[in-house]
Amino acid sequence: MNNILEFLFESAKAAPEKTAYFDEQTSYTYERMLKDVKAIGTKLIGRLNVKCRPIIIYMDKSPKALAAFWGCVYSRNFYVPLDTAMPEMRIRLIVENLKPAAVITDMTYYDLARKYSANVFLFEEMVETPIDEQLLKARFDTALDTDPVYVLYTSGSTGVPKGVVVSHRSLIDYMTAFVGEIGITESDVIANQAPFYFDASLIDIYCALAVHATMCIVPIDHFSVPLRLLEFLEKHEVTTIRWVPSAMKMVSMFKGFASIRPKQLRKIIFGAESMPVKVYDYWKENYPEATFVQIYGPTEITGVCTYHVVDRLYDEGETIPIGKAFRNTEVFLLDEDDRLISRADTVGEICVKGSCLALGYYNAREKSDEVFVQNPLNPYYSEKIYRTGDLAKYNEDHDLVFVSRKDFQIKHMGHRIELGEIETAAMALPNMKNACCLYDGGKDKIVLFYETDAYDEAALLEALKRRLQRYMIPNVFNRLDDFPMLRNGKADRVALKEML
Amino acid sequence: MDRIIEILKSVHPEVDYETETGLIDKRIFDSFDVVTVVGELMDEFDIEITAEHMVPENFNSAKAIAELVENLEEE
């Protein structure tokens, strides 16, 4: 298998009539998905004379967005999903970095999309294109498994988001391992929570595709009203969820299972931020027969590189391990002098090698070379590893346990954020003298310390909203008249931390 | 009521809580905001808010939240 679309071809053949993807408005069978994908692919090949170039998908989350993704892939280009709620200033940074060949959007966002590219395609028109099988085949036959399939943007510490480029080979490797080891089958109904511009959604989208299961999109407002959420799972006989712990907390905090306990649920997969033991225990007590899996991995290794089947209750103060590597992936710890760690309880940096490694950051060679590096344990031949910047240790069962970050990257409500990106946005405001961002892990809050006479809190908030994703907006603003500085001119983080 | 508004302001300081009546329906509060606010309400007032209470009618305005908290405190 060389191309991720082969999953779609197989599913459309094996289960053409089956509901593949649905949300409240739209439902796609595998057959219809393939038809729309071919129409979009035909249109792109006919109109764009390029290969292996990025195409932005600027649409809300829906099965249609998936048809747009795979239409790009059919034309041997790659898709870049962007959050439609992203502020214009941040989109412009991405467009500048990406120089997209085109943007695919729908009627809702057509006018906005035209700001970012001269080449805007309208989804509603694309799907009406007569399919040209010969044209599609000729293009498809040239594709390589080392071609990029998508770029996902993640927070960058210098203020410019980083685009992680992933190849077909990595994605196929990831899905094959995941479906096999976690045991996803065609009878599963997967309820999607994560946005498509976030790698957590890959499991929902591609597990369904790989085994012709069904994926449904949970309406976002259900995550604010637990009874609606649980009714939805019950009604659609959902068997599998891969959610961030913050979303699972929505149920445990309100003791939702006392009202509705969806009967078909049997695989509960979580990751992307640390799981509070209280939340996990509540779910586990209500689903003693279900399989609980904690997964771990950054976007740079295509989503997930370790997993741990959680089979017992945990006590407050214990940490659920992130476990062991998926097959065809090696995960190891290096100490500060790049020596391999094998003893329990010694902290080191998590490093990853295998086909799961991304192709690097898009149009950011230097940034890529900092973290995708030659394996320091192998001087003999070219072998790349990815240095995650995450610190972990082994427990007595030789399972990995996450400890902390090496730098100023945080996980907040399931999102990966570089505090530097927030600081850069704050410092870019006129008359801002100093800005430093800290994360108060105990209270789960982003705290911005700043020094200026030009803004009150409300004005500062408004200004930041124009530059940052909503989940990056600080929760606490602390204005200081006397900003603690180090002699090198940087903010004194230690002194600021004491003010939390 | 002052304490409730203080808690609400900690997640969305820009909202006018005297007049706003669509905190949930207009998606001003997302699920993470709800979790944060409810956590603080439960700690501050020593009440338990269950899934039955967590419906938009009870959370669309500061006034509705105050009434819910008052009812739960009496229980």
CATH number at residue B41: 1.10.1200.10
- Per-residue model confidence as pLDDT tens digits over A360-389: 999 999 999 999 999 999 999 999 999 999
What range does the domain containing B23 cover? 2-74
Whole-number percent of chain A with pLDDT over 90: 85
Q: For position A135, what pLDDT does the model report?
A: 97
Contacts of A195 in chain B (CB under 8 A): none
Interface check B55 vs A, CB under 8 A: yes
Banded pLDDT at B31 (limits 50, 70, 90) = confident
Residue pair A473/A465 in contact (Cβ under 8 Å)? The answer is yes
Chain A within 8 Å of B22 (Cβ-Cβ)?
A: no
Q: What is the structure's pLDDT at B57?
A: 94
Q: Which residue reads 């508004």 in tokens?
A: B5
Res A114: pLDDT? 96
On the question of pLDDT at A415 being above 90, the answer is no
pLDDT at A109: 97
What is the residue-averaged pLDDT of chain B?
90
Give residue A370's pLDDT: 96
pLDDT of A136 > 90? The answer is yes
Compute the average pLDDT of residues A31-55. 97
Query: Which residues from A are below 8 Å from B51, CB to CB?
Result: 226-227, 230, 251, 254-256, 258-260
Evaluate if residue B75 carries a pLDDT over 80. no
User: For chain A, what percent of residues have pLDDT higher than 70?
Assistant: 100
Contacts of A254 in chain B (CB under 8 A): 38, 49-51, 53-54
Global model pTM greater than 0.90: yes
For residues A241-255, average pLDDT:
93
Predicted confidence at residue A272, as pLDDT, reads 84
Q: Specify the pairing of strand A384-394 against strand A372-374.
A: antiparallel
pLDDT beyond 90 at A264: yes
Q: What is the pLDDT of residues A205-226, one digit of tens each?
A: 999 999 999 999 999 989 999 9
What does the buried/exposed string (b/e) look like for A303-342 if buried means 16 or more CB atoms within 10 Å of the residue's CB?
bbbbbbebeeebeeeeebbbbbbbeebebbbbeeeeeebe
Give how far A202 is from chain B: nearest CA, Å: 22
Q: Is the Cα torsion angle A105, A110, A112, A116 positive or negative in sign?
A: positive
Range 21-40 of A in CB contact (< 8 A) with B: none
What's the whole-number mean pLDDT along residues A156-170?
Answer: 94
As a whole number, the mean pLDDT across chain A is 95
pLDDT at residue A145 in the model: 98
Asked if A254 has any chain B CB less than 8 Å from its own CB, the reply is yes
pLDDT value for A456: 83
Please tell me the total count of domains within chain B: 1
Q: Render pLDDT for A455-486 as a digit per residue (tens, 0 to 9).
A: 888 888 889 999 998 889 998 889 999 899 88
Which of the four pLDDT bands, split at 50, 70 and 90, describes residue B9?
confident
CA distances in angstroms from A261 to A199, A229, A237, A283, listed in the order given: 28, 11, 11, 10
- Edge-first strand listing for the sheet containing A102-105: A120-122, A102-105, A54-58, A78-81, A148-154, A162-167, A360-361
Mutation target for B interface from A223, A254, A466: give the one with most B CBs within 10 A. Answer: A254
State whether B32 and A413 contact (CB < 8 Å).
yes
Kindly tell me if the per-residue pLDDT of A93 is higher than 80.
yes
Nearest CA to CA, how far is B33 from chain A (Å)? 9
Tens-place pLDDT, residues A330-346:
999 999 999 999 999 99
Chain A CB within 8 Å of residue B51 CB: yes
> Do A221 and B11 lie within an 8 Å CB cutoff?
no
Contact list, B8 vs chain A (CB under 8 Å): none
Q: Where residue B12 falls among pLDDT bands split at 50, 70, 90?
A: confident
Least confidently predicted of A200-214, A268-282, A349-363, A451-465: A451-465
**What is the rounded average pLDDT of the residues A400-407?**
91
- Quick one: closest CA in A to B16, which residue? A458
Q: What pLDDT, on the 0 to 100 scale, is given for residue B74?
A: 85
Please determine, for residue A420, whether its predicted confidence score (pLDDT) is greater than 80. yes
Give the pLDDT confidence score for residue A457 in this predicted structure.
Answer: 83
Q: Which domains does chain A have, with CATH numbers?
A: 18-143 (3.40.50.980), 297-405 (2.30.38.10), 410-498 (3.30.300.30)
Report d(CA A438, CA A497) in Å as an integer.
7
pLDDT number for residue B1: 83
